[in-house]
Amino acid sequence: MGKEIILRYGCNPHQIPAKIYTEEDDLPIKVINGAPGYINLLDALNSWQLVHELRQVTNLPAAASFKHVSPAGAALGIPLSETLAKAYFVTGMELSPLAAAYARARGADRVSSFGDWVALSDPVDLPTARLLRREVSDGIIAPGYDPEALAILREKKKGRYNIIQIDPAYEPPEMEIRQVYGIFFAQKRNTVLASPMMTRRIVTENRDLPDTAERDLLLAMITLKYTQSNSVCLAVDGQVIGVGAGQQSRIHCTRLAAAKADTWYLRQHPRVLELPFREGLSRPERDNAIDQYLREDLTAVEKEQLREAFTGNPPELSAEEKRSWLANLRGVAMASDGFFPFRDNIDRAHASGVEYIIQPGGSVRDRSVIAACDEYGMVMAFSGIRLFHH
């Protein structure tokens, strides 16, 4: 596969020259189509690790939708309900387990996933390629491609769609090294694998952890392992529904992840599913219109622009209607890459249906956080493992 790939530029167009390379064996990746850039490859290698690990731990096909080196969504290959299929604009499509995984990953935050980098744990099949053909995406990494699927993907972006194949057997060196400001940093790679054993140290009065909740906790943990810290992740039904990434305060992570989860669930409100979109409105335009429709802080100009997306004038969802609908969101799992320093994180999580939590533990206020979980009847486990990623 060669030892280096010359890039057009680095993070920004003025950062020239740029390349990726290896000093020992050949690169484990091959560019099949397109000319991926520096950030594309950062997304590709981070996202591949996430889906590869999900496949190892859950034994299910996995997909991730990455933007700027953090996941907008990640999911497992579990069939979609009719409601989710409608919310994700895939009603009537043939969805293989791999395609279902990507539909779920893309559906976590469709606005953020616009122009995403896609990672798939398994060779890309025809249903998945047909789904990808419809979405605005920058590129994909996978361990292989069925010939018919590859032919479809080669046509995206007028033949410029970035397609990368990775050797699934590749194992990187134990030590990872990078350079910052002329200084080398070296550390042992984060090789810890999320496992059911990490969910067994339950510290709350409620110790009832269903298998599906355990699966969702592991999904959230693995997602955080490849998310820029600080980070918090909410998951349910085998898919991520909210990621709060790169925040300086833990409560801001939780608020961001929970707000995204709320939006994800509100997109499934019957009134949202029946919005009268103007004929010819693209899926990205519909995604943006839904996002604006659900906001409560629109300016007069934005309200006028929103009206242009519809053939009629749909009634707004009131704050009370939203609260009533969100009260139905239950059984959500939440993971944090670091300990919770205050109970406010638990209070906010409860408002978005969180019932199961995993975090490293180790705060001086652990007792207060545990007490908050007990107040809400939540199950919380201490993994003992911090998952910072920078």
Annotation says 269 is catalytic? no
**pLDDT (average), residues 189-196:** 94
For a pLDDT cut of 90, what percent of the chain falls above it?
94
Write out pLDDT tens, residues 8-57. 999 999 999 999 999 878 999 999 999 999 999 999 999 999 999 999 99
- Crossing angle for the helix pair 283-294 and 300-307, nearest 10 degrees? 140
- Say which of 68, 86, 157, 252 is annotated catalytic: 68
Query: Can you give the pTM of this predicted structure?
Result: 0.95
Contact between residue 291 and residue 306 where contact means Cβ atoms under 8 Å apart: no
For a pLDDT cut of 70, what percent of the chain falls above it?
100
Contacts of 80 (CB under 8 A, 6+ apart): 88, 90, 95, 100, 103, 104
Write out pLDDT tens, residues 297-306. 889 898 888 9
**pLDDT (average), residues 59-68:** 97
- Say which of 40, 230, 288, 345 is annotated catalytic: 230
Annotation says 390 is catalytic? yes
Q: What is the pLDDT of residue 23?
A: 85
- Alpha-helix residue ranges (DSSP H) falling in the chain: 38-58, 82-87, 97-107, 126-134, 147-154, 211-225, 250-266, 270-273, 283-294, 300-307, 319-326, 344-350, 366-376
Annotation says 350 is catalytic? no
Write out pLDDT tens, residues 69-90. 999 999 999 999 999 999 999 9
The Cα–Cα gap between 283 and 295 comes to 19
Q: What is the pLDDT of residue 154?
A: 98
**pLDDT (average), residues 168-178:** 94
Average pLDDT taken over every residue of the chain: 96
pLDDT band at 2 (very low <50, low <70, confident <90, very high): confident
3-state DSSP call for residue 75?
Answer: strand
Residue 108 DSSP class? T
pLDDT band at 313 (very low <50, low <70, confident <90, very high): confident
Q: What is the pLDDT of residue 245?
A: 96
Q: Could you give the dihedral angle defined by the CA atoms of residues 50, 104, 214 and 365, in that order, rounded to the nearest 10 degrees? A: 80
Q: Taking Cα atoms as reference points, which of 169, 170, 123, 168 lies closest to residue 150? A: 123
**pLDDT (average), residues 256-275:** 97
Whether 1 has a pLDDT exceeding 70, the answer reads no
Q: What is the pLDDT of residue 326?
A: 97
The Cα–Cα gap between 357 and 374 comes to 12
Annotation says 230 is catalytic? yes
- Say which of 14, 158, 188, 390 is annotated catalytic: 390
**pLDDT (average), residues 175-200:** 94
- Say which of 33, 40, 46, 67 is annotated catalytic: 67
Distance of CA 305 to CAs 48, 173, 313, Å?
A: 38, 52, 12
pLDDT band at 145 (very low <50, low <70, confident <90, very high): very high
- Domains parsed from the chain with CATH numbers: 4-166 (3.40.140.20), 184-266+326-382 (3.40.140.20), 275-316 (1.10.287)
Omega of the bond prior to 17 within 30 degrees of 0, cis? yes
The Cα–Cα gap between 233 and 352 comes to 12
Whether 188 has a pLDDT exceeding 80, the answer reads yes
